[in-house]
Amino acid sequence: MRRSLSWGHCDPAGIIFYPTYYRWMDAATWSLLAECGWPGARMRTEHLSIPLLDSQCAFLASPKFGDQIEVRSTLDRIGRSSFALRHEFILLGDDKLLARGLEARVWARYEAGPGTPLRSTPVPDELRAALGTPA
């Protein structure tokens, strides 16, 4: 997934505002699921969600306004009903690693649709196959 660092992603110094990495990790996770056959529309129709259990990010370098960044996401681990994705933020043009993040999520189903309680449920075999093996 590629992103351009716009002014709205920056702090007053013109460098990335750290919550931007967390928004991009979330977007990258949903994008990866869509590529694996589980777009948001399917998730809603099937009353599924992927609540966040943990999120971490190590900031290594600061991109600036206008920089082009690629978010590279890979499977870190997968359990019965949970999985974790590793995200790397790369400055395009010189392949500089800007940050490294990790998200742990649970595969869950609403009892009767959004707004009702969520219950963890096994990660479908179809999704396991699409995600591949942990890196």
Q: Where are the domains of the chain?
A: 2-131
pLDDT at 41: 96
Whether the full predicted model's pTM is greater than 0.85, yes or no, is yes
Residue 107 and residue 84: Cα distance in Å, rounded? 11
Question: How many other CB atoms sit within 10 Å of the CB of residue 73?
Answer: 21
Residue 21 and residue 87: Cα distance in Å, rounded? 9
pLDDT at 101: 98
Name the superfamily (CATH) of residues 2-131: Hotdog Thioesterase (3.10.129.10)
What confidence category does residue 15 fall into, taking pLDDT thresholds of 50, 70 and 90? confident
Residue 127 and residue 70: Cα distance in Å, rounded? 23
Is pLDDT at 135 greater than 80 in this prediction? no
pLDDT at 128: 95
